[in-house]
Structure formats: C-alpha cells, structure tokens
C-alpha cells in the first residue's frame, strides 16, 4: 500500500508537460522576435553548412586546424537547432507548452552542447600551440587519428557532463508549478519549480559545470602563454603578424563565449535576475552559433579563397537554371 502511495505521489510530481514563459508577453513584440530569430537561424544554418561543405570539398583544407573548425561548425549547427525551432514555435503558440520528454531531451542536448564547446575550444587552443610552438612537428604530433581522439574525448566529456546535470534535475519532484520562467528548459529555472531541497543539485551544477569551464579555460590560457612567448621571440615582424593572425579567430570566439559565461555565473548573486539570464541565454543559443562561422569565414583567407573557388565553379551552372 505504501509503495502504491509513493508511486502515485511520484507521478503527481512529474508533470506530463511544462509551460515556457518565453521572452515576452507582448504579441507584437513576439512577432518581431519571431522574424529576427528566424533570420538569425537561417543565417546560422547557411553559414555553418557552408563552412562544413567548403572544408570537406577542398583537399587543401584537410589539415587539423580546419578539422576542428568543421567540428565547431557542426556543433553550432546542432547547438542552435536544439533550442531555436521550439522557440520559434512558442512565439506563434498560445499555450507555449513543451512535453516532459521534450524538456528532458532539450536540457540534455543543450547541456552537452555548452560543455562540448568548452572542451572543443580548449582542443583548438592546443592545436594552435603545437602549430606555432612546434611547427616542424605539427603534422607528426597532430595526426588524423589523434585529432579524432581529441574530438571524441570532447564529445564524451560533454555528454557525460550533460547526463549528470539532466539526471540530477529530473529526479526532483516538481510540485510548485509547471511553468518554466525561461524560453527553453534549463537547470536553474527548473530547480525553482521543485518543492524539495535543491542544494545538492546546485552543488553538482557548480562542480561539474565549473570543471568543464575551468579545465578548458586553463588549457586555453596555458597554450596562449606559450604561443605569445614564441611569437614575441620571432625576429621578423611579418612572421609575428602571420603567426598571430592564425589565432585571432579562435581568440575572438573564446572571448565571446567566455564573456557570456562570466556574465551569467561570476556576477554578484544580489544582481541576479531571470531577465538577465534570458538575455545571456540568447547569446548562447542565437548569437554565438551565428557569429562563429562568420568570424572564421571572414577572417580566414584560406576559407575565403576556397569559397570564391566554389562560387566561380558553380555560378555558371546556377545562372543556367
């Protein structure tokens, strides 16, 4: 009898669906946001797919650096597709509901994407360290098999981290409400719906989330300390400029990504508000996946040349259609 009561209580605290509050309650503003987000999503898809196609189709770009850039574009493609289609649908929906299973999968895939980007940016920093500090050994050290292993470990770490956060969150009873004060399923707003003590969950989020971010950031900082030291010892000004130019796109990506993390997690708790968190989340889910391929595409001469070559090759055929 007691087991039946516990089971019924557990079912009662696991809602079949959640309601997303979205970004605004103003219908006119929702229509504007829908148009903007749809535009951003289309640009994100086109830009990232273009990077993947260009790198895959040009044999000259089949080197470790572009292998990692292609994986970053694939990650950004998946990253935005986890959140944006549902967000676009909620802009046009009256109920703004998301099923329990959809919510679990969205949180899991989003958490994996954030952790993956942390690890992948660290791997890319190590790649730049080997290329600049040990250029003669670059192709020997960064063999294809080793590069695949590095990306594989990044995926393993990302999905393991997401599994821990997701399983810890959804084992909680949600008896306060089923309305999520956010435009997608994320850990902090879901913890607020639980009627049990969430201290352990917050500790897990801090430890494992911080571990992914700190380990990646440490790798980036150590790598660039050696890179800067090596560049400063280059006698030729042209040589220093050329070496540093190969790092600028990565540094810009790291700066945008980690500045968002700092804003979200390293500001005083007294200034915390869900409205601020939603703004930062827009950068995560909308802006960063769109900016990354544009940064690499516009600043990388090899990618630009490869794109121009493809355009010259296929433009005459397109004009005939």
Q: Is residue 260 part of a domain?
A: yes
Q: Is residue 98 part of a domain?
A: yes
Within its chain, how far is the Cα of 56 from the centroid? Answer: 22
Q: Is residue 10 part of a domain?
A: no
Q: Is residue 8 part of a domain?
A: no
Separation between Cα atoms, residue 57 and residue 314, nearest integer Å: 13
What residues have CB less than 8 Å from 319, skipping those under 6 apart?
none
pLDDT interval class at 13 (50, 70, 90)? low
Q: Which pLDDT score, from 0 to 100, does residue 275 have?
A: 64
Q: Is the pLDDT of residue 16 over 70?
A: yes
Q: List, in sequence order, the alpha helices (H) in 172-236.
A: 187-191, 199-232
Instruction: Look up the pTM and report it.
Output: 0.86
pLDDT digits (tens, 9 = 90+) for 106-154: 999 999 998 999 999 999 999 999 999 998 999 899 999 999 999 999 9
Handedness of CA 153, 206, 265, 39 (dihedral sign): positive
Q: Is residue 4 part of a domain?
A: no
Query: How many domains does the chain contain in total?
Result: 1
Read off the pLDDT of each residue in 30-53 and give the average, rounded to a whole number: 93
Provide the 10 A C-beta neighbour count for residue 144: 12
Q: Could you tell me the residue range of the domain that residue 211 belongs to?
A: 16-320
Provide the 10 A C-beta neighbour count for residue 124: 26
Q: Is residue 160 part of a domain?
A: yes
Q: Is residue 247 part of a domain?
A: yes
CA distances from 243 to 155, 158, 230, 281 (A): 29, 30, 9, 34
User: Exposed, middle or buried by CB within 10 Å (0-12, 13-18, 19+), for 25?
Assistant: exposed
Q: Is residue 9 part of a domain?
A: no
Question: Tell me, what CATH number does 231's domain have?
Answer: 1.20.1070.10
């Amino acid at each position: 009898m007691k087991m039946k009561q516990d089971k019924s209580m557990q079912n009662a605290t696991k809602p079949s669906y959640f309601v997303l509050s979205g970004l605004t309650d103003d219908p006119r503003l929702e229509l504007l946001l829908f148009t903007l987000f749809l535009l951003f999503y289309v640009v994100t898809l086109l830009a990232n797919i273009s990077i993947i196609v260009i790198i895959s189709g040009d044999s000259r770009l089949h080197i470790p650096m572009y292998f990692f850039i292609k994986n970053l574009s694939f990650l950004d493609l998946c990253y935005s597709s986890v959140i944006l289609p549902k967000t676009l649908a909620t802009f046009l929906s009256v109920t703004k509901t998301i099923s329990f299973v959809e919510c679990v999968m969205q949180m899991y895939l989003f958490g994996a994407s954030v952790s993956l980007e942390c690890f992948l940016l660290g791997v890319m920093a190590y790649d730049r360290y080997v290329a600049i500090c040990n250029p003669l050994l670059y192709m020997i050290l960064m063999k294809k098999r080793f590069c695949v292993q590095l990306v594989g470990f990044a995926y393993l770490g990302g999905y393991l981290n997401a599994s821990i956060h997701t399983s810890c969150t959804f084992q909680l009873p949600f008896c306060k409400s089923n309305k999520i004060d956010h435009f997608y399923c994320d850990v902090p707003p879901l913890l607020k719906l639980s009627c049990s003590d969430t201290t352990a969950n917050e500790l897990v989020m801090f430890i494992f989330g911080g571990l992914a971010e700190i380990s990646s950031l440490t790798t980036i900082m150590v790598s660039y300390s050696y890179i800067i030291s090596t560049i400063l010892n280059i006698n030729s000004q042209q040589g220093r400029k050329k070496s540093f130019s190969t790092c600028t796109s990565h540094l810009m990506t790291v700066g945008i990504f980690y500045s968002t993390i700092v804003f979200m997690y390293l500001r005083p708790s007294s200034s915390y508000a869900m409205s601020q968190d939603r703004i930062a989340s827009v950068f995560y889910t909308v802006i960063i996946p769109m900016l990354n391929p544009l940064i690499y595409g516009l600043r990388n001469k090899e990618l630009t040349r490869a794109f121009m070559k493809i355009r010259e090759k296929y433009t005459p055929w397109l004009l005939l259609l």
